[in-house]
Structure 1
Amino acid sequence: MRLGFQATCASAMALGLVANPALAQDEQAPTDEIIVNGRAQRLYRVDTTTVGKVAEDPINIPQALQVINAELFRDQGARDATDLYRNISGVSFFSYAGVTFRGFRQDQSFYDGQRGNPFIGFSVPQLFNISRVEVLKGPAGLFFGPGSPGGIINYVSKVPEDKSSLRLVGTMGNYNRAGMSAEATGPVDVGGVVSYRLGGFYESMAPYRTNTKSKSLIGDGGLSIKTNPGGKLTLQATIYDNDLPGNRLRGILTDDAGNFLTDIRWNANEPTDFLHLKSKAFQARYVTNIGDAVTFDAGARYFKSKETQQYHEPRGLVPGNPDLVAREFRDQIRDVDGLSFMANVTAKIGLLGMAHQLQAGADWYDEKNLLDSRILRAGVTPLSLSNPVYVTSARDVARTAALPFTTTDTRTKRKGAYLQDQISVTDALLLVGGVRYDKFDDGVVTSTGGRVSAGSSYSDGDVTYRAGAVFKPRPDASLYFSWSGSFEPQAAASQSTDVGGPFAPVTGKQIEAGIKSNLFAGRLQANLAVYRIVRRNILQADVTLAPVNGQDQLRPIGEVTSKGFEVDLATDITPDWVLLANYGYNDTKITDTVVGQAVTNAVGNRFANAPKHKVGFWTRYQFPAIGAAIGFGGEHVSRRISLSGQQVKPYTIFDASVTKGLGFAELLLRVDNIFDKVYAASGFSAQSGHFPGEPRTFLAEMRFGF
């Protein structure tokens, strides 16, 4: 293990020195990454965000947002998106890559402002090649088109830099965790016209769930070319390979009070079950200034992902036996590829004595999603909760291979254009207004053994708006009010005339007011947001109407109202002590429905995995005299319900870290869930249980920077 790590470090150093002679000449100069002393002030704060497609000061945006930067990634040892949710008010874990966002389930992610998430299905976005995560809360239809009204998450990629640097990291921890990564960046030529970035990440472990293993590999590379004064073209390519033996995980069964029925290490999967994701993404982005008043950017992104999985799905307790869990065996292949384009232009002009910042843009997305699935439901051996006996699944694999695949072919096309004007009425008052039109084409065809059994398609369009006002009593503080909207096309399968279709999209409308501040030269950022979201046109079966061709009639009657408030704080308590804290209150309820009919993801009038209260904090204190820092954080999530109406107990967990500068390197020691709390991170269903939170885990990283 030690020899392998040393060899990898040496290889990565050689790569950086060969690819960048300037680095070889200055290899003794350490970067700020390994200097613990002096990092505290404004450590986790940013002054600009691109969540509105162009760079803007968050204080001028009339909508709540958060930006999580690489500094926080490093201090918290974050590996994937789930490690970040505790830092975001209004966001909590739902399942896999899905979150509850201001009360609504949301599974959609963007990369550098574009659609094209390579982590399809049941894999979670990784952070190795991500420089920051931007979160826009509430409806984001103006800039991002169709989507959930809870908000969006935008991952901003690392890009080549003009300054040469090399970073090496070796990782170890419990559950046999071992890994290494290397990143090199800098100019290629003497004039700095072309710069590069190369990165590689590998980590393996045997997680706490029985039979599970995990191997993650990421390769990332990019070139930036200065094409003209103020203009740059960036080309990037990334590959992902996630191999997860025994690891297509569901939860642990619970009783109605939310108590686990067995140890959280229990797993319905056999040792030979697996999930394997292979993805690749290619991206090009061009940004330029046109004079002093106009900026233009355009991007293209293509990804292709294939996820294969064979696993045993729990189906609840065997009737009459409180110890045996029924199972079925699933053999599935998801093959997804998508292509997107976007362009944005911003112009600053004077009109009628006022300064206008006009912003216009358009985007286009085409995705093909193929799911091949075959499920063996009969004759699969149940599994004991108290004494599980695992055997090879060869018999189930062989029997399933005799079944025909059912193929679901889903095609999705999105294209839209927007226009926004930000008017500086005075230095203290900004007015913002924008409109967007989207056209969408959806279709789905289902076939079994090559024979088509069902198919439908639908095309439509919709208009969304955003309007707001920002009042700045001083340059570093603002009060804002906004109205924003979003929409989501109904599922193509629900647009059939047999069920009463076609139907207009589901809409989301939000009213929000808040305060943002960036006081004391940025040492105190405190934000407050109060919101009310109404989601309408939710399809439900209308039991007062007779079925047509054996299918229940649907009507867009469902309505849901989400209301709450959020507080976010980032501050330097002293020059050596920084604190992040957030609190979110949310109350999401069904406000109109068909009697006796439930809304998706709701039980009664409450929504699954939507906590009323969520608290998160992280604090870091550095000791300059000894070149060390300690960090301490925690999270509290209040009581929730699962999709089956079972209780999901509240939980509170704590984490801690120690960072020590060694001169030639930096050492991080971190422990999560300090008190080894047994808890449910999320509720799912009575058949497959609640998702358990991770037990106490230890992580050690040795970081070298040049």
Structure 2
Amino acid sequence: MIAAILSTPTFAQNSSELSEDKQAQQDIEVISVTGRAVNLYRNGDSATGKLITDPLNSTQMISSINESLIRDQGARDAKDLYRNIAGVSQFSYAGVTARGFRQEEIYFDGLRGDPYVGFNVPQLFNVERVDFLKGPAGMLYGPGAPGGLFNYVTKKPSSEFRAQGRIIAGTDSRFGGSLELNGEIADKQNARVAVFHEQQDTHRVHSDSEVTIVDTGYSLELQDSLLTLQYTHYQQDLAANRLRGVPVDDNGNFLTGTDWNHNEPSDFLNMRSDVLQASLVGHLTGQLSYDAAIRYIDNEQEQNYHEPRALIDSNGDGQIDLVGREFRDQLREQQQLSFGINFVYESQLLGAEQRTAFGGDYYQGEEDALLGGAKFSKDHIKRYLSNSSLDSDILPLSLFKPNYGKTQSNKYDVKFRPKRNTEQERTGAYVLNELAWQQFTLVTGVRFDQFDDTSGTVSFDDNNVSYRLGGIFKATDNISFYAQWADSYEPQGVGSQNELVGGPFEPTTGTIVEAGLNAELFDDTMLLRVSTYQIKRQNLLQATGLDPEGDGEDNLAAVGEVTSDGVEVEVIADITPDWVVSAAYAYNDAQITKGAGGSGIRNNVGDRFANAPKNQLGFWTRYQLPEQHLAFALGGNYVDEQLSLSGQKVKSYFVADASIIFEVDDYKVMFRIDNLFDKEYAESGFIDRTGHFPGKPRSAFVEFTYNW
């Protein structure tokens, strides 16, 4: 389900436009809005494609979720929003399946780099909008998966004074609150100060979450530009984490309760991240505008957890009843530096309005990791079962009567590897040109990328050229047809470039052919978008099982290919002036078409790709009663059957949610129920020893908001 299709501009806006956009975001939070209800969730133009574009003049799909929908759904982290985007479903942690492919690339404010880094899911407190750019985006953003990419647009200071406080309480000992202050502090100088804290238990035994975000910003309006400075501190403390799944049988049935946890109560995943960002937006001339930004991220993650390593049938009755585990003690420190600048030049050529975007970006990421582990000994199971285990053993955990606390982490013989250093460097430059006649629009683009990866003593560098071609035919003022061809690439993991395994290898590549329809119908009360596409992803590495050189390392070969065919339909419409419905349907058939087995593609030719459902259907509907200051909202999410990485079935599921909102003057109260019918389900599957990721059972909360 998608609530709004297009985003507000990110690039090439002047300061007055930014202030107007911020005011618009404030206006739509009021329940008694003027105009149609559709304005609650529908965004305006988008610049995620480097050129500011309205819905009827886009050659690619950009799904956008605005702050009103985030608030109505009570969303706290990115996982709460995946159902709102056609073709996107959960894979693992912050990773998703997008148009059939695993996708983990995350951008903030148009810059590469994720302050949450991998196993921590992005929180939404300081996020104004979430954009998802669908399909290969190599020409626009460089290396990435062919399914698309996320861009989180953070909240910025504005001149309009705004103060907002929130308090939340709910099931699972959930409690928290936030405070946001925003406004002018001096002539043409604006500031934002905000803090958020929330804690709660989770549905997995011993597991809980505590999140703190401190977000600050300062902006200065210059004569022809706007300077914005931001600092954000993120802190997540997750007890009894990192969380894997719950074991299942081959038919996707959980072998035990979905609250089962493979971790000990003393395990944890703690994350700290500090982000500094500066941006400058403005005009050099009446025809030339620019948007430049730089960001530095300093991140640290510390983890102690028990990794499932073996499923055990202890008495030979054919039923798995124990899980063998190993202990992992990890410290990861990462620094990321991102820079990007985008220029837009407007002119006329061949009787058409011409816009040319050109610019470049740079990314450098460095990770120092100290990884330690204590594996269970080969005879630990026997000693445990004979009731003669040693204190230093990592005891297996029962699926039915978990014996937490019997194994003692402080007595493990932990072996640490030498500190591992990994570096990534990405440099890119691009040109994107648009020629717009009255009925036809032609878009062409090209990008050059240089990448350099190092891990320990292994290093590899190469370059790539990406292209994009798109066109639009406007049948009427309100109906247009579009088509595009574009490509993408991803460098192979630097460890796979070792000559001992057959490296170096060319990057994994992806191409798309897409066509679609964009229409505003019924006096602009309905926005309809339809697309059909085929994506081919090639050069996936496969393990050959052969060692022709006799060097003790089995060779890899780049022979894999996956083909993804799909259709997507997205609608947001008014039923009445006070009743809005947003819905999205996605059909996707992602199949392995070349290669078999191995590390690149885990299933066989002809099989569906892992965690890629054929059908998805999501909706969100809100009916408001302005005179009573009430609104009622209901949403649903259907995800078709999937396969895990090990080929185990992941059952289809449908989950419904509901909200009741009361708002009068400066007060707002929302009552929210998630998983209304308490459905037991798996969001996705991983490998058999780690199981499927269980969805959350029914939960509820009340949130009180006051604005002044």
TM-score (norm 1): 0.91
Q: Distance in 1 between matches of 2:700 and 2:448?
A: 49
Residue matched to 2:331:
333
Residue matched to 1:6:
none
Residue matched to 2:29:
33
Residue matched to 2:199:
204
Matched, 1:131 2:128: yes
Q: Distance in 1 between matches of 2:523 and 2:132?
A: 23
Residue deviations 1:508-539 (CA, integer Å, cap 9, x gap): 01000001123345421110010001111122
Q: Distance in 2 between matches of 1:37 and 1:363?
A: 40
Residue matched to 2:22:
none
Matches within 5 A, 1:65-144: 65-144=62-141
Residue matched to 2:409:
396
Matches within 5 A, 1:495-534: 495-520=497-522, 522-534=524-536
Q: CA deviation at 1:400?
A: 4.0
Q: For the Cα contact (< 8 Å) 1:569–1:580, is it kept in 2?
A: yes
Residue matched to 2:356:
358
Residue matched to 1:384:
398
3-state SS, counterpart of residue 512 of structure 1: strand
Q: CA deviation at 1:33?
A: 3.1
Residue matched to 2:385:
none
Residue matched to 1:410:
422
Q: CA deviation at 1:592?
A: 1.5
Q: For the Cα contact (< 8 Å) 1:360–1:420, is it kept in 2?
A: yes
Residue matched to 2:176:
179
Q: CA deviation at 1:167?
A: 0.9
Q: For the Cα contact (< 8 Å) 1:36–1:629, is it kept in 2?
A: no
Q: CA deviation at 1:482?
A: 0.3
Q: 1:473 to 1:513 in 2, by over 3 A?
A: same
Q: Distance in 2 between matches of 1:602 and 1:120?
A: 28
Q: 1:510 to 1:351 in 2, by over 3 A?
A: same
Deviates more, 1:364-373 or 1:174-183: 364-373
Residue matched to 1:195:
190
Residue matched to 2:656:
654
Q: For the Cα contact (< 8 Å) 1:272–1:392, is it kept in 2?
A: no
Letter in 1 for 2:203: Y
Of the candidates 344, 347, 369, which is equivalent to residue 345 of structure 2?
347
Q: For the Cα contact (< 8 Å) 1:171–1:180, is it kept in 2?
A: yes
Q: For the Cα contact (< 8 Å) 2:50–2:357, is it kept in 1?
A: no
Letter in 1 for 2:141: F
Q: CA deviation at 1:597?
A: 4.7
Residue matched to 2:601:
600
Residue matched to 1:152:
149
Residue matched to 1:573:
575
Q: Distance in 2 between matches of 1:488 and 1:215?
A: 34
Q: Distance in 1 between matches of 2:536 and 2:695?
A: 31
Residue matched to 1:439:
450
Residue matched to 1:583:
585
Letter in 2 for 1:246: A
Of the candidates 27, 47, 53, which is equivalent to residue 50 of structure 1?
47
Residue matched to 2:702:
700
Letter in 2 for 1:430: T
Q: For the Cα contact (< 8 Å) 2:314–2:321, is it kept in 1?
A: no
Q: Distance in 1 between matches of 2:546 and 2:397?
A: 43
Residue matched to 2:665:
663
Q: CA deviation at 1:292?
A: 2.5
3-state SS, counterpart of residue 50 of structure 2: coil
Residue matched to 1:474:
476
Letter in 2 for 1:600: I
Matched, 1:315 2:328: no
Matches within 5 A, 1:419-498: 419-424=431-436, 426-445=437-456, 455-498=457-500
Q: For the Cα contact (< 8 Å) 2:636–2:654, is it kept in 1?
A: yes
Q: 1:392 to 1:63 in 2, by over 3 A?
A: same
Letter in 2 for 1:342: G
Q: For the Cα contact (< 8 Å) 1:34–1:665, is it kept in 2?
A: no
CA RMSD of aligned residues (A): 1.7
Of the candidates 641, 644, 647, which is equivalent to residue 639 of structure 1?
641
Residue deviations 1:245-275 (CA, integer Å, cap 9, x gap): 1131111111111111111111111111101
Of the candidates 285, 288, 312, which is equivalent to residue 291 of structure 1?
285
Q: For the Cα contact (< 8 Å) 2:370–2:416, is it kept in 1?
A: no
Unpaired runs of at least 5, structure 2: 1-25, 377-392
3-state SS, counterpart of residue 266 of structure 1: coil
Of the candidates 200, 223, 232, which is equivalent to residue 228 of structure 1?
223
Deviates more, 1:308-317 or 1:624-633: 308-317
Q: 1:260 to 1:357 in 2, by over 3 A?
A: same
Q: Distance in 2 between matches of 1:397 and 1:572?
A: 60
Q: For the Cα contact (< 8 Å) 1:243–1:277, is it kept in 2?
A: yes
How many residues end up aligned between the 2 structures?
A: 661
Q: For the Cα contact (< 8 Å) 1:270–1:392, is it kept in 2?
A: no
Letter in 2 for 1:245: A
3-state SS, counterpart of residue 495 of structure 2: helix
3-state SS, counterpart of residue 40 of structure 2: coil
Q: Distance in 2 between matches of 1:235 and 1:324?
A: 53
Matched, 1:238 2:232: yes
Residue matched to 2:246:
252
Q: CA deviation at 1:407?
A: 3.0
Residue deviations 1:227-253 (CA, integer Å, cap 9, x gap): 213x10111110000011113111111
Q: 1:629 to 1:116 in 2, by over 3 A?
A: same
Residue deviations 1:281-315 (CA, integer Å, cap 9, x gap): 11111000233221111110110111101011122
Q: Distance in 1 between matches of 2:27 and 2:527?
A: 27
Q: CA deviation at 1:399?
A: 1.9
3-state SS, counterpart of residue 69 of structure 2: helix
Q: CA deviation at 1:650?
A: 0.5
Q: Distance in 2 between matches of 1:576 and 1:351?
A: 45
Q: For the Cα contact (< 8 Å) 1:34–1:666, is it kept in 2?
A: no
Unpaired runs of at least 5, structure 1: 1-29, 446-454
Q: 1:42 to 1:548 in 2, by over 3 A?
A: farther
Residue deviations 1:441-477 (CA, integer Å, cap 9, x gap): 01111xxxxxxxxx31111001000001011123333
Deviates more, 1:49-58 or 1:150-159: 49-58
Q: Distance in 2 between matches of 1:122 and 1:543?
A: 31
Q: Distance in 2 between matches of 1:620 and 1:486?
A: 38
Q: Distance in 1 between matches of 2:111 and 2:458?
A: 27
Letter in 1 for 2:433: D
Q: Distance in 1 between matches of 2:653 and 2:123?
A: 25
Q: 1:601 to 1:105 in 2, by over 3 A?
A: farther
3-state SS, counterpart of residue 566 of structure 2: strand
Q: CA deviation at 1:84?
A: 0.4
Residue deviations 1:10-58 (CA, integer Å, cap 9, x gap): xxxxxxxxxxxxxxxxxxxx97635456572321111111211343223
Residue deviations 1:117-176 (CA, integer Å, cap 9, x gap): 011131000111010011111000111100000100100011011211111110011000
Of the candidates 539, 542, 556, which is equivalent to residue 541 of structure 2?
539
Q: CA deviation at 1:699?
A: 1.4
Of the candidates 241, 244, 267, which is equivalent to residue 273 of structure 1?
267
